[in-house]
Chain A
Protein backbone atom coordinates (compact mmCIF):
# COMPACT_ATOMS: atom_id res chain seq x y z
CA UNK A 1 0.00 0.00 0.00
CA UNK A 2 1.19 3.48 -0.80
CA UNK A 3 1.68 6.23 1.71
CA UNK A 4 -0.68 8.64 -0.03
CA UNK A 5 -3.41 6.01 -0.26
CA UNK A 6 -3.13 5.29 3.44
CA UNK A 7 -3.36 8.95 4.43
CA UNK A 8 -6.25 9.55 2.07
CA UNK A 9 -8.22 6.62 3.40
CA UNK A 10 -7.55 7.72 6.96
CA UNK A 11 -8.61 11.33 6.46
CA UNK A 12 -11.69 10.33 4.51
CA UNK A 13 -12.97 7.97 7.17
CA UNK A 14 -12.30 10.25 10.16
CA UNK A 15 -12.57 13.81 8.85
CA UNK A 16 -12.72 15.82 12.08
CA UNK A 17 -10.66 13.53 14.29
CA UNK A 18 -7.39 13.44 12.33
CA UNK A 19 -5.55 16.68 11.79
CA UNK A 20 -2.18 17.66 10.30
CA UNK A 21 -1.56 14.39 8.53
CA UNK A 22 1.78 14.63 6.72
CA UNK A 23 3.96 12.17 4.85
CA UNK A 24 7.58 12.78 5.75
CA UNK A 25 8.97 10.22 3.33
CA UNK A 26 7.86 7.08 1.56
CA UNK A 27 7.87 5.04 4.72
CA UNK A 28 7.17 7.47 7.53
CA UNK A 29 3.99 9.43 8.22
CA UNK A 30 2.61 11.34 11.16
CA UNK A 31 -0.82 12.53 12.26
CA UNK A 32 -2.51 14.15 15.27
CA UNK A 33 -5.59 12.46 16.63
CA UNK A 34 -8.24 13.58 19.08
CA UNK A 35 -7.73 11.81 22.39
CA UNK A 36 -11.30 10.65 22.75
CA UNK A 37 -11.28 8.74 19.47
CA UNK A 38 -7.79 7.26 19.46
CA UNK A 39 -9.04 3.75 20.13
CA UNK A 40 -11.45 3.75 17.20
CA UNK A 41 -8.75 4.95 14.84
CA UNK A 42 -6.45 2.15 16.03
CA UNK A 43 -9.21 -0.40 15.48
CA UNK A 44 -9.76 0.87 11.94
CA UNK A 45 -6.02 0.76 11.22
CA UNK A 46 -5.78 -2.82 12.39
CA UNK A 47 -8.83 -4.07 10.51
CA UNK A 48 -8.72 -2.30 7.17
CA UNK A 49 -5.22 -1.00 6.49
CA UNK A 50 -3.15 -4.02 7.68
CA UNK A 51 -1.38 -2.17 10.49
CA UNK A 52 -1.07 -5.11 12.85
CA UNK A 53 2.19 -4.44 14.70
CA UNK A 54 2.43 -1.94 17.53
CA UNK A 55 6.01 -0.73 17.88
CA UNK A 56 5.75 1.39 21.00
CA UNK A 57 3.68 3.72 23.14
CA UNK A 58 5.49 6.57 24.80
CA UNK A 59 4.85 9.89 26.47
CA UNK A 60 6.51 13.25 25.94
CA UNK A 61 6.40 16.22 28.31
CA UNK A 62 6.10 19.58 26.60
CA UNK A 63 6.33 21.81 29.64
CA UNK A 64 6.39 25.07 27.72
CA UNK A 65 3.09 24.32 25.97
CA UNK A 66 1.70 22.93 29.25
CA UNK A 67 0.60 19.62 27.83
CA UNK A 68 1.59 15.97 27.47
CA UNK A 69 1.63 13.97 24.27
CA UNK A 70 1.11 10.23 23.93
CA UNK A 71 2.73 8.91 20.75
CA UNK A 72 1.75 5.57 19.21
CA UNK A 73 4.04 4.07 16.58
CA UNK A 74 2.15 1.54 14.50
CA UNK A 75 3.72 -0.56 11.75
CA UNK A 76 2.89 -3.61 9.70
CA UNK A 77 4.33 -7.02 8.99
CA UNK A 78 3.56 -6.70 5.27
CA UNK A 79 4.49 -3.17 4.15
CA UNK A 80 7.22 -0.90 5.54
CA UNK A 81 5.15 2.19 6.41
CA UNK A 82 5.28 3.39 10.03
CA UNK A 83 2.58 5.75 11.28
CA UNK A 84 3.12 7.97 14.34
CA UNK A 85 -0.20 8.88 15.96
CA UNK A 86 -0.08 11.63 18.53
CA UNK A 87 -2.68 12.64 21.10
CA UNK A 88 -2.46 15.81 23.16
CA UNK A 89 -3.41 15.78 26.82
CA UNK A 90 -3.68 18.64 29.32
CA UNK A 91 -0.99 18.67 31.96
CA UNK A 92 -3.22 18.92 35.02
CA UNK A 93 -5.38 15.87 34.42
CA UNK A 94 -3.91 13.54 31.79
CA UNK A 95 -6.26 10.67 30.96
CA UNK A 96 -6.72 8.62 27.83
CA UNK A 97 -8.45 5.42 26.83
CA UNK A 98 -6.30 2.30 26.82
CA UNK A 99 -5.82 0.32 23.60
CA UNK A 100 -5.09 -3.06 25.16
CA UNK A 101 -8.19 -4.58 23.59
CA UNK A 102 -6.90 -3.69 20.12
CA UNK A 103 -3.20 -4.51 20.45
CA UNK A 104 -2.33 -7.08 23.11
CA UNK A 105 1.26 -5.95 23.65
CA UNK A 106 0.33 -2.39 24.62
CA UNK A 107 -0.11 -3.64 28.20
CA UNK A 108 3.43 -3.11 29.49
CA UNK A 109 4.05 0.04 27.46
CA UNK A 110 1.08 1.75 29.09
CA UNK A 111 2.09 0.63 32.56
CA UNK A 112 5.52 2.09 32.06
CA UNK A 113 4.19 5.40 30.71
CA UNK A 114 1.88 5.63 33.71
CA UNK A 115 4.61 5.22 36.29
CA UNK A 116 7.11 7.51 34.58
CA UNK A 117 4.78 10.39 33.67
CA UNK A 118 1.53 10.03 35.59
CA UNK A 119 -0.73 9.56 32.56
CA UNK A 120 -3.75 7.47 33.52
CA UNK A 121 -5.04 4.90 31.03
CA UNK A 122 -8.70 4.14 31.60
CA UNK A 123 -9.94 0.53 31.46
CA UNK A 124 -6.47 -0.92 31.64
CA UNK A 125 -6.62 -4.45 33.14
CA UNK A 126 -3.68 -4.07 35.53
CA UNK A 127 -2.34 -0.53 35.93
CA UNK A 128 0.43 -0.81 38.51
CA UNK A 129 4.17 0.01 38.44
CA UNK A 130 6.40 -2.21 36.38
CA UNK A 131 9.95 -0.95 36.58
CA UNK A 132 10.23 1.40 39.51
CA UNK A 133 10.09 0.24 43.14
CA UNK A 134 6.75 0.59 44.89
CA UNK A 135 7.78 3.49 47.08
CA UNK A 136 8.74 5.63 44.11
CA UNK A 137 5.18 5.73 42.80
CA UNK A 138 3.92 9.28 42.62
CA UNK A 139 7.24 10.90 41.83
CA UNK A 140 6.84 10.71 38.02
CA UNK A 141 10.61 10.78 37.30
CA UNK A 142 10.57 11.56 33.61
CA UNK A 143 8.73 14.86 33.88
CA UNK A 144 10.81 17.91 33.17
CA UNK A 145 10.34 19.41 36.64
CA UNK A 146 11.42 16.35 38.63
CA UNK A 147 13.60 17.40 41.56
CA UNK A 148 15.61 14.25 42.23
CA UNK A 149 17.70 14.38 39.07
CA UNK A 150 20.72 14.75 38.70
CA UNK A 151 21.62 12.75 41.75
CA UNK A 152 24.68 14.08 43.54
CA UNK A 153 25.36 11.60 46.33
CA UNK A 154 28.28 9.79 44.69
CA UNK A 155 31.41 10.35 46.72
CA UNK A 156 34.54 9.42 44.85
CA UNK A 157 33.99 11.49 41.72
CA UNK A 158 37.00 13.19 40.19
Chain B
Protein backbone atom coordinates (compact mmCIF):
# COMPACT_ATOMS: atom_id res chain seq x y z
CA UNK B 1 0.00 0.00 0.00
CA UNK B 2 2.87 2.37 0.58
CA UNK B 3 4.46 2.06 -2.82
CA UNK B 4 4.80 4.97 -5.14
CA UNK B 5 1.39 6.24 -6.23
CA UNK B 6 0.69 6.65 -9.92
CA UNK B 7 -0.68 9.95 -11.21
CA UNK B 8 -4.40 9.22 -10.85
CA UNK B 9 -4.30 7.10 -7.73
CA UNK B 10 -5.04 8.10 -4.17
CA UNK B 11 -5.36 6.56 -0.74
CA UNK B 12 -8.37 7.29 1.45
CA UNK B 13 -8.86 6.20 5.03
CA UNK B 14 -12.37 5.27 6.07
CA UNK B 15 -11.46 6.06 9.62
CA UNK B 16 -12.68 4.91 12.97
CA UNK B 17 -15.79 7.07 12.88
CA UNK B 18 -17.65 6.55 9.66
CA UNK B 19 -21.34 6.23 8.90
CA UNK B 20 -21.05 2.89 7.18
CA UNK B 21 -19.55 0.81 9.97
CA UNK B 22 -21.14 -0.99 12.89
CA UNK B 23 -18.09 -0.38 15.07
CA UNK B 24 -14.75 1.41 14.84
CA UNK B 25 -12.18 -0.02 12.45
CA UNK B 26 -10.08 1.68 9.80
CA UNK B 27 -10.33 0.63 6.17
CA UNK B 28 -7.54 1.96 3.93
CA UNK B 29 -8.45 1.98 0.27
CA UNK B 30 -6.17 2.69 -2.63
CA UNK B 31 -8.25 3.99 -5.49
CA UNK B 32 -7.64 4.52 -9.15
CA UNK B 33 -10.49 6.73 -10.16
CA UNK B 34 -13.46 4.96 -8.58
CA UNK B 35 -12.09 1.43 -8.64
CA UNK B 36 -10.46 -0.13 -5.63
CA UNK B 37 -6.97 -1.41 -6.37
CA UNK B 38 -5.82 -2.40 -2.88
CA UNK B 39 -7.37 -2.57 0.58
CA UNK B 40 -6.14 -2.96 4.13
CA UNK B 41 -7.83 -3.15 7.54
CA UNK B 42 -6.61 -1.86 10.90
CA UNK B 43 -8.29 -3.21 13.98
CA UNK B 44 -7.96 -2.73 17.67
CA UNK B 45 -9.81 0.49 18.41
CA UNK B 46 -12.05 -1.17 21.00
CA UNK B 47 -9.71 -3.82 22.32
CA UNK B 48 -10.32 -4.35 26.00
CA UNK B 49 -8.13 -7.34 26.81
CA UNK B 50 -10.88 -9.71 27.91
CA UNK B 51 -8.63 -12.75 27.79
CA UNK B 52 -6.28 -11.23 30.34
CA UNK B 53 -9.11 -9.96 32.54
CA UNK B 54 -10.65 -13.45 32.68
CA UNK B 55 -7.46 -14.85 34.17
CA UNK B 56 -7.98 -12.68 37.23
CA UNK B 57 -11.65 -13.34 37.91
CA UNK B 58 -13.41 -16.39 39.26
CA UNK B 59 -15.61 -18.45 36.99
CA UNK B 60 -18.80 -16.90 38.31
CA UNK B 61 -17.49 -13.38 37.74
CA UNK B 62 -16.38 -14.48 34.31
CA UNK B 63 -19.99 -14.93 33.15
CA UNK B 64 -20.57 -11.18 33.50
CA UNK B 65 -17.41 -10.34 31.59
CA UNK B 66 -18.04 -12.80 28.76
CA UNK B 67 -21.42 -11.14 28.18
CA UNK B 68 -19.64 -8.16 26.76
CA UNK B 69 -17.65 -9.82 24.00
CA UNK B 70 -20.43 -9.12 21.52
CA UNK B 71 -23.16 -7.17 23.18
CA UNK B 72 -25.80 -7.99 20.58
CA UNK B 73 -25.70 -11.74 21.16
CA UNK B 74 -24.76 -11.84 24.81
CA UNK B 75 -26.64 -15.03 25.63
CA UNK B 76 -24.82 -17.07 23.02
CA UNK B 77 -21.45 -15.93 24.41
CA UNK B 78 -22.54 -17.01 27.86
CA UNK B 79 -23.71 -20.34 26.45
CA UNK B 80 -20.23 -21.00 25.07
CA UNK B 81 -18.45 -20.12 28.31
CA UNK B 82 -20.86 -22.03 30.54
CA UNK B 83 -20.77 -25.01 28.18
CA UNK B 84 -16.97 -25.14 28.42
CA UNK B 85 -17.01 -25.04 32.21
CA UNK B 86 -19.74 -27.65 32.46
CA UNK B 87 -17.69 -30.01 30.33
CA UNK B 88 -14.73 -29.53 32.67
CA UNK B 89 -16.93 -30.07 35.72
CA UNK B 90 -18.59 -33.09 34.18
CA UNK B 91 -22.20 -32.07 34.78
CA UNK B 92 -25.14 -31.62 32.47
CA UNK B 93 -28.13 -29.35 33.04
CA UNK B 94 -31.57 -30.96 33.33
CA UNK B 95 -34.10 -30.86 30.49
CA UNK B 96 -36.10 -27.83 31.53
CA UNK B 97 -32.98 -25.69 31.71
CA UNK B 98 -31.89 -26.89 28.29
CA UNK B 99 -35.23 -25.94 26.78
CA UNK B 100 -35.07 -22.49 28.37
CA UNK B 101 -31.56 -21.97 27.02
CA UNK B 102 -32.65 -22.93 23.50
CA UNK B 103 -35.61 -20.54 23.70
CA UNK B 104 -33.27 -17.69 24.63
CA UNK B 105 -30.72 -18.61 21.96
CA UNK B 106 -33.32 -18.57 19.22
CA UNK B 107 -34.84 -15.29 20.39
CA UNK B 108 -31.33 -13.81 20.32
CA UNK B 109 -30.84 -15.11 16.81
CA UNK B 110 -34.04 -13.45 15.62
CA UNK B 111 -33.20 -10.05 17.04
CA UNK B 112 -29.63 -10.16 15.79
CA UNK B 113 -30.71 -10.95 12.24
CA UNK B 114 -33.30 -8.16 12.33
CA UNK B 115 -30.69 -5.64 13.42
CA UNK B 116 -28.19 -6.93 10.86
CA UNK B 117 -30.62 -6.47 8.00
CA UNK B 118 -31.62 -3.06 9.30
CA UNK B 119 -28.05 -1.79 9.51
CA UNK B 120 -27.34 -3.14 6.03
CA UNK B 121 -30.28 -1.11 4.77
CA UNK B 122 -29.01 2.00 6.51
CA UNK B 123 -25.53 1.69 5.01
CA UNK B 124 -26.82 1.59 1.45
CA UNK B 125 -29.43 4.28 1.99
CA UNK B 126 -32.55 2.17 2.44
CA UNK B 127 -33.53 3.80 5.71
CA UNK B 128 -37.12 2.54 5.82
CA UNK B 129 -35.82 -1.02 6.17
CA UNK B 130 -33.91 0.12 9.24
CA UNK B 131 -36.98 1.68 10.82
CA UNK B 132 -39.26 -1.30 10.18
CA UNK B 133 -36.86 -3.95 11.43
CA UNK B 134 -35.97 -2.00 14.58
CA UNK B 135 -39.66 -1.75 15.42
CA UNK B 136 -40.05 -5.53 15.20
CA UNK B 137 -36.86 -6.02 17.15
CA UNK B 138 -38.19 -4.03 20.09
CA UNK B 139 -41.03 -6.55 20.48
CA UNK B 140 -38.59 -9.44 20.62
CA UNK B 141 -36.37 -7.58 23.06
CA UNK B 142 -39.29 -7.06 25.38
CA UNK B 143 -39.84 -10.84 25.41
CA UNK B 144 -36.20 -11.39 26.40
CA UNK B 145 -36.53 -8.63 28.98
CA UNK B 146 -39.48 -10.48 30.50
CA UNK B 147 -37.33 -13.55 31.15
CA UNK B 148 -33.91 -12.22 32.07
CA UNK B 149 -34.58 -8.71 33.30
CA UNK B 150 -32.27 -6.80 30.96
CA UNK B 151 -32.25 -5.82 27.32
CA UNK B 152 -28.62 -6.08 26.38
CA UNK B 153 -26.26 -7.72 28.87
CA UNK B 154 -28.05 -10.38 30.84
CA UNK B 155 -25.84 -12.60 33.11
CA UNK B 156 -28.64 -15.11 33.18
CA UNK B 157 -26.99 -18.51 32.77
CA UNK B 158 -25.36 -20.43 35.59
CA UNK B 159 -23.31 -23.60 35.76
CA UNK B 160 -25.78 -26.46 35.63
CA UNK B 161 -28.88 -24.44 34.84
CA UNK B 162 -30.34 -20.98 34.60
CA UNK B 163 -30.74 -18.28 37.21
CA UNK B 164 -34.55 -18.16 37.37
CA UNK B 165 -37.58 -19.87 35.89
CA UNK B 166 -39.77 -18.55 33.10
CA UNK B 167 -42.42 -16.07 34.27
CA UNK B 168 -46.07 -17.13 34.45
CA UNK B 169 -48.05 -16.73 31.28
CA UNK B 170 -44.98 -16.44 29.07
CA UNK B 171 -46.37 -18.69 26.37
CA UNK B 172 -49.57 -16.66 26.07
CA UNK B 173 -47.57 -13.48 25.60
CA UNK B 174 -45.07 -15.00 23.16
CA UNK B 175 -47.43 -16.60 20.63
CA UNK B 176 -49.03 -13.33 19.37
CA UNK B 177 -45.57 -11.76 18.98
CA UNK B 178 -44.35 -14.72 16.92
CA UNK B 179 -47.44 -14.68 14.68
CA UNK B 180 -46.98 -10.98 14.07
CA UNK B 181 -43.34 -11.61 13.24
CA UNK B 182 -44.22 -14.24 10.64
CA UNK B 183 -46.41 -11.74 8.84
CA UNK B 184 -43.74 -9.04 9.05
CA UNK B 185 -41.06 -11.29 7.59
CA UNK B 186 -43.34 -11.95 4.65
CA UNK B 187 -43.74 -8.20 4.17
CA UNK B 188 -39.98 -7.63 4.28
CA UNK B 189 -39.36 -10.34 1.72
CA UNK B 190 -41.87 -8.79 -0.64
CA UNK B 191 -40.27 -5.39 -0.09
CA UNK B 192 -36.84 -6.75 -1.07
CA UNK B 193 -38.01 -8.68 -4.09
CA UNK B 194 -39.97 -5.87 -5.68
CA UNK B 195 -37.72 -2.88 -5.02
CA UNK B 196 -35.75 -2.25 -8.18
CA UNK B 197 -33.01 -0.09 -6.69
CA UNK B 198 -32.28 -2.60 -3.94
CA UNK B 199 -31.98 -5.41 -6.45
CA UNK B 200 -29.63 -3.41 -8.63
CA UNK B 201 -27.38 -2.68 -5.68
CA UNK B 202 -27.22 -6.19 -4.28
CA UNK B 203 -27.71 -8.82 -7.00
CA UNK B 204 -24.37 -9.87 -8.41
CA UNK B 205 -22.36 -7.78 -5.96
CA UNK B 206 -19.65 -9.37 -3.86
CA UNK B 207 -19.98 -12.88 -5.23
CA UNK B 208 -18.34 -15.72 -3.31
CA UNK B 209 -18.08 -19.26 -4.58
CA UNK B 210 -18.02 -22.27 -2.29
CA UNK B 211 -14.36 -23.13 -2.83
CA UNK B 212 -13.15 -19.60 -2.27
CA UNK B 213 -15.30 -19.28 0.84
CA UNK B 214 -13.95 -22.50 2.33
CA UNK B 215 -10.42 -21.42 1.57
CA UNK B 216 -10.92 -18.05 3.24
CA UNK B 217 -12.29 -19.70 6.37
CA UNK B 218 -15.64 -17.94 6.71
CA UNK B 219 -18.65 -19.49 8.41
CA UNK B 220 -22.24 -18.61 9.16
CA UNK B 221 -24.79 -17.08 6.78
CA UNK B 222 -21.99 -15.87 4.51
CA UNK B 223 -20.92 -19.48 3.90
CA UNK B 224 -24.44 -20.84 3.73
CA UNK B 225 -25.28 -18.36 0.98
CA UNK B 226 -22.74 -20.10 -1.26
CA UNK B 227 -24.32 -23.52 -0.91
CA UNK B 228 -22.29 -25.22 1.85
CA UNK B 229 -24.65 -26.59 4.58
CA UNK B 230 -22.34 -26.07 7.54
CA UNK B 231 -24.24 -25.51 10.79
CA UNK B 232 -22.90 -26.50 14.21
CA UNK B 233 -26.44 -27.23 15.41
CA UNK B 234 -26.57 -30.12 12.95
CA UNK B 235 -22.90 -31.17 12.80
CA UNK B 236 -22.26 -31.57 16.51
CA UNK B 237 -25.53 -30.95 18.33
CA UNK B 238 -25.41 -29.46 21.79
CA UNK B 239 -28.30 -29.00 24.27
CA UNK B 240 -31.51 -30.44 22.81
CA UNK B 241 -31.03 -29.57 19.16
CA UNK B 242 -30.91 -33.23 18.22
CA UNK B 243 -34.55 -33.63 19.25
CA UNK B 244 -35.86 -30.65 17.30
CA UNK B 245 -36.92 -30.56 13.68
CA UNK B 246 -35.47 -27.77 11.55
CA UNK B 247 -33.55 -27.42 8.31
CA UNK B 248 -30.37 -25.62 7.33
CA UNK B 249 -31.10 -22.70 4.99
CA UNK B 250 -28.79 -22.36 2.00
CA UNK B 251 -28.77 -20.42 -1.22
CA UNK B 252 -26.52 -20.84 -4.23
CA UNK B 253 -25.89 -17.37 -5.61
CA UNK B 254 -23.36 -16.14 -3.03
CA UNK B 255 -24.00 -12.42 -3.49
CA UNK B 256 -25.39 -9.79 -1.09
CA UNK B 257 -28.98 -10.56 -2.04
CA UNK B 258 -28.53 -14.24 -1.20
CA UNK B 259 -27.11 -13.41 2.23
CA UNK B 260 -30.15 -11.31 3.09
CA UNK B 261 -32.40 -14.11 1.87
CA UNK B 262 -30.59 -16.64 4.08
CA UNK B 263 -31.12 -14.44 7.12
CA UNK B 264 -34.83 -14.07 6.39
CA UNK B 265 -35.23 -17.82 6.05
CA UNK B 266 -33.34 -18.37 9.28
CA UNK B 267 -35.75 -16.10 11.12
CA UNK B 268 -38.59 -18.31 9.89
CA UNK B 269 -36.80 -21.46 11.04
CA UNK B 270 -36.15 -19.90 14.44
CA UNK B 271 -39.83 -19.10 14.86
CA UNK B 272 -40.63 -22.75 14.03
CA UNK B 273 -38.09 -23.96 16.62
CA UNK B 274 -39.57 -21.63 19.23
CA UNK B 275 -43.07 -22.96 18.65
CA UNK B 276 -41.84 -26.52 19.11
CA UNK B 277 -40.00 -25.64 22.31
CA UNK B 278 -42.96 -23.84 23.84
CA UNK B 279 -45.15 -26.88 23.12
CA UNK B 280 -42.75 -29.49 24.46
CA UNK B 281 -41.51 -27.63 27.52
CA UNK B 282 -41.25 -30.18 30.37
CA UNK B 283 -41.57 -29.42 34.03
CA UNK B 284 -38.85 -30.29 36.45
CA UNK B 285 -35.92 -28.96 38.44
CA UNK B 286 -33.65 -26.26 37.14
CA UNK B 287 -30.37 -27.67 38.47
CA UNK B 288 -29.05 -31.26 38.65
CA UNK B 289 -30.38 -33.35 41.51
CA UNK B 290 -28.35 -34.04 44.64
CA UNK B 291 -25.71 -31.48 43.86
CA UNK B 292 -24.95 -28.15 45.39
CA UNK B 293 -25.21 -26.22 42.08
CA UNK B 294 -28.05 -23.78 42.38
CA UNK B 295 -27.41 -22.77 45.95
CA UNK B 296 -24.97 -20.03 46.71
CA UNK B 297 -21.44 -21.29 45.97
CA UNK B 298 -19.03 -18.39 46.04
CA UNK B 299 -15.85 -20.44 45.64
CA UNK B 300 -15.89 -23.21 43.08
CA UNK B 301 -12.77 -25.14 42.09
CA UNK B 302 -12.80 -26.66 38.65
CA UNK B 303 -10.73 -29.81 38.07
CA UNK B 304 -7.67 -29.47 35.85
CA UNK B 305 -8.01 -30.10 32.14
CA UNK B 306 -8.69 -28.41 28.85
CA UNK B 307 -11.65 -28.30 26.50
CA UNK B 308 -12.71 -26.73 23.19
CA UNK B 309 -16.42 -26.05 22.78
CA UNK B 310 -18.26 -24.63 19.77
CA UNK B 311 -21.72 -23.12 19.42
CA UNK B 312 -23.65 -21.62 16.54
CA UNK B 313 -23.64 -17.85 16.83
CA UNK B 314 -25.95 -15.83 14.55
CA UNK B 315 -22.83 -14.77 12.67
CA UNK B 316 -21.08 -18.10 12.40
CA UNK B 317 -19.12 -20.51 14.50
CA UNK B 318 -18.00 -19.37 17.94
CA UNK B 319 -15.53 -21.36 19.96
CA UNK B 320 -13.72 -21.17 23.29
CA UNK B 321 -10.60 -23.00 24.38
CA UNK B 322 -10.33 -23.13 28.15
CA UNK B 323 -7.45 -24.48 30.24
CA UNK B 324 -7.89 -24.97 33.96
CA UNK B 325 -5.21 -25.79 36.51
CA UNK B 326 -7.39 -26.82 39.41
CA UNK B 327 -7.89 -23.45 41.10
CA UNK B 328 -10.88 -21.16 41.14
CA UNK B 329 -9.72 -18.95 38.24
CA UNK B 330 -9.16 -20.09 34.66
CA UNK B 331 -5.56 -20.39 33.49
CA UNK B 332 -6.11 -19.38 29.88
CA UNK B 333 -9.24 -18.67 27.85
CA UNK B 334 -8.97 -18.23 24.10
CA UNK B 335 -12.03 -16.79 22.41
CA UNK B 336 -12.55 -17.57 18.75
CA UNK B 337 -15.08 -15.10 17.44
CA UNK B 338 -17.17 -15.72 14.34
CA UNK B 339 -16.63 -12.35 12.68
CA UNK B 340 -12.82 -12.39 12.85
CA UNK B 341 -12.23 -14.52 9.73
CA UNK B 342 -15.07 -12.83 7.87
CA UNK B 343 -13.45 -9.44 8.41
CA UNK B 344 -10.13 -10.86 7.28
CA UNK B 345 -11.79 -12.00 4.06
CA UNK B 346 -13.11 -8.53 3.24
CA UNK B 347 -10.04 -7.02 1.45
CA UNK B 348 -9.75 -9.73 -1.24
CA UNK B 349 -13.47 -9.38 -1.95
CA UNK B 350 -13.55 -5.65 -2.60
CA UNK B 351 -10.57 -5.43 -4.94
CA UNK B 352 -11.89 -4.53 -8.38
CA UNK B 353 -15.21 -3.05 -7.26
CA UNK B 354 -16.26 0.56 -6.97
CA UNK B 355 -16.42 2.60 -3.80
CA UNK B 356 -20.20 2.45 -3.66
CA UNK B 357 -20.12 -1.33 -3.58
CA UNK B 358 -17.74 -1.38 -0.62
CA UNK B 359 -20.55 -0.21 1.64
CA UNK B 360 -22.90 -2.89 0.32
CA UNK B 361 -20.40 -5.74 0.69
CA UNK B 362 -19.19 -4.83 4.15
CA UNK B 363 -22.75 -4.26 5.32
CA UNK B 364 -23.99 -7.62 4.10
CA UNK B 365 -21.35 -9.38 6.21
CA UNK B 366 -23.31 -8.19 9.28
CA UNK B 367 -20.35 -7.61 11.51
CA UNK B 368 -19.77 -6.77 15.11
CA UNK B 369 -16.34 -5.21 15.49
CA UNK B 370 -16.43 -5.66 19.22
CA UNK B 371 -15.98 -9.38 19.00
CA UNK B 372 -13.24 -9.17 16.41
CA UNK B 373 -11.31 -6.96 18.81
CA UNK B 374 -12.37 -8.51 22.11
In-complex A–B contact (CB below 8 Å): yes
Residues of A within 8 A of B (CB): 27-28, 52-56, 58, 60-61, 71, 73, 77, 80, 82, 84, 103-105, 107-108, 129-133, 141-142, 149-150
Are A105's CB and B373's CB within 8 A?
A: no
The closest CB in chain B to the CB of A151 belongs to B49
Answer whether A108 and B340 are a contact pair too, CB < 8 Å, given A60-B332, A133-B44: yes
Chain A residues lying within 8 Å of B44, measured Cβ to Cβ, are 129-133
Give chain B's interface residue range (CB within 8 Å of chain A).
20 to 34
Q: How does the 8 Å CB contact mask read for B269-286 relative to A, with 1 for contact and 0 for none?
A: 000000000000000000
Known: A133-B44, A150-B56. A58 touches B216 (CB 8 A): no
Known: A27-B236, A133-B44. A55 touches B344 (CB 8 A): no
Question: Which of B217, B228, B235 is the one whose CB lies under 8 Å from A103?
Answer: B217
Q: Is B71 an interface residue (CB 8 A)?
A: no
Q: Does B13 contact A (CB under 8 A)?
A: no
B241 to chain A, nearest CB (A): 13
* 3 nearest A-B residue pairs (beta carbon): A105-B217, A131-B44, A58-B334
Q: Can you list 12 contacts pairing A with B, beta carbon distance less than 8 Å?
A: A28-B307, A55-B310, A58-B321, A73-B308, A77-B228, A82-B308, A103-B217, A107-B344, A108-B341, A141-B49, A142-B51, A150-B56
Is B52 interfacial (CB 8 A cutoff)?
yes
B56 with A131: CB separation less than 8 A: no
Q: How far is the CA of A58 from the CA of B336 in the complex (A)?
A: 10
Q: Is B193 an interface residue (CB 8 A)?
A: no
Q: Which residue of the partner chain, among A54, A107, A142, contacts B52 with CB atoms under 8 Å? A: A142
A31 CB → nearest B CB, Å = 13
Assess the B214–A52 pair: CB atoms within 8 A.
Answer: yes
- Is A55 in contact with B319, judged by CB distance below 8 angstroms? yes
Asked if A131 contacts B215 (CB within 8 A), the reply is no
Residues of A within 8 A of B228 (CB): 77
Q: Nearest Cβ distance between residue B109 and chain A, in whole angstroms?
A: 21
B321-A56 in contact (CB<8A): yes
Q: A105-B216, A141-B49 are in contact. List 9 more A-B contacts (CB 8 A).
A: A28-B308, A55-B319, A56-B336, A71-B334, A77-B230, A103-B217, A105-B341, A107-B344, A108-B341
- A55-B336, A58-B321, A103-B217 known; A80 vs B235 contact (CB < 8 Å): yes
CB of B25, distance to nearest CB on chain A (Å): 11
Chain B residues lying within 8 Å of A84, measured Cβ to Cβ, are 308
Q: Which residue of chain B lies nearest to A71 when distances are taken between CB atoms in the complex?
A: B321
Count of A-B contacts judged by CB separation below 8 Å? 67
Contacts of B47 in A (CB 8 A): 131-132
Whether A130 contacts B217 by the Cβ 8 Å rule is no
User: In the complex, what's the smallest C-beta–C-beta distance from B227 to chain A, in angstroms?
Assistant: 12
User: Does A104 lie within 8 Å of B215, measured CB to CB?
Assistant: yes
Task: Give the docked Cα–Cα distance between A108 and B339 (Å).
Answer: 12
A52 to B215 alpha-carbon distance, docked (Å): 8
Asked, given contacts A28-B308, A77-B228, A82-B308, whether A53 binds B319 with beta carbons under 8 Å apart, the answer is: no
Interface centre among B56, B217, B235, B323 (most CB of A within 10 A): B217
The answer to whether B214 and A77 touch across the interface, beta carbons within 8 angstroms, is yes
Which of A61, A108, A129, A149 gathers the greatest number of chain B CB atoms within 10 Å? A108
Are the C-beta atoms of B344 and A105 separated by less than 8 Å?
yes
Known: A56-B334, A60-B332, A108-B344. Contact between A73 and B319, CB under 8 A?
yes
Tell me which residues across on chain B come within 8 A of A71, comparing CB atoms.
Answer: 321, 334
B141: CB under 8 A from chain A?
no
Residues of B near A107 (CB, < 8 A) are: 344
Give bound CA distance, A80 to B235, whole Å.
6
When C-beta atoms are compared, the residue in chain A nearest to B219 turns out to be A53
**Which of chain B's residues 204-257 have a Cβ closer than 8 Å to chain A?**
214-217, 219, 228, 230, 235-236
Contact with A along B338-365 (1 / 0, CB 8 A): 0011001100000000000000000000
Does B27 have its Cβ within 8 Å of any Cβ on chain A?
A: no
Of A27, A77, A84, A150, chain B has the most CB atoms within 10 Å of the CB of A77
- Tell me, in angstroms, the Cα distance from A4 to B167 when the chains sit together: 47
- CB pair B43–A131 under 8 Å, yes or no, is yes
